[in-house]
Amino acid sequence: MTGEELREVMRRFPAPVAVVTTELDGERFGLTVGSLVSLSLKPPLVGISIGKDSSSHEPIRRAGGWAASLLSGAQANVAQHFARSGIPPVALWNGTDVREGSRGPLVNEALAWLECSTVSEHDAGDHTIFVGEVESTELGFPGSGLVYRGGEYLPA
């Protein structure tokens, strides 16, 4: 079994899309994830999986918390923007519609927002799973969510 074989299988299964952000030492970081998952209601815990080679990996680790903007079906362009690699963190924020959050910038017009403190980290091969305790939530406008399937972003 290879990583490419696994990728091909998983592309058939829709994954919800969110933008995860943090701020560290006055600098903002953000990336698109398809790994946000609810883990527990008591206490309220969610998890994200971040590649160790991501420019946001160490800032998320060091900041001790992060924010997640759950993207709407109309925000494929936002997902694509934050999915680009090799963009200097400062350039990532040019032209993005965000507002300040307590753990990181929040993408405007999302379905909902979560702000989390990291309570544990788990090594998972070439990724780290960050478990966050949800400190606050906010609902946005109701509508379809954004999923990633077959190599593209689709409303669902």
Query: What domains can you pick out in the chain, each with its CATH number?
Result: 16-147 (2.30.110.10)
pLDDT at residue 141, as a whole number: 86
pLDDT at residue 130, as a whole number: 98
Examine residue 43 and say whether the peptide bond preceding it is cis (omega within 30 degrees of 0). Answer: yes
pLDDT at residue 89, as a whole number: 74
Q: Is the pTM of this model over 0.85?
A: yes
pLDDT at residue 155, as a whole number: 96
SS3 of 113, please?
strand
Low-confidence ranges of the chain (pLDDT < 70): none
pLDDT at residue 43, as a whole number: 98
Q: What distance in Å separates the CA atoms of residue 113 and residue 60, rounded to the nearest whole number? A: 17
pLDDT at residue 52, as a whole number: 96
Q: What distance in Å separates the CA atoms of residue 36 and residue 68, rounded to the nearest whole number? A: 8
Counting beta carbons within 10 angstroms of the beta carbon of residue 49, is it exposed (0 to 12), middle (13 to 18) or buried (19 or more)?
middle
pLDDT at residue 47, as a whole number: 98
pLDDT at residue 85, as a whole number: 80
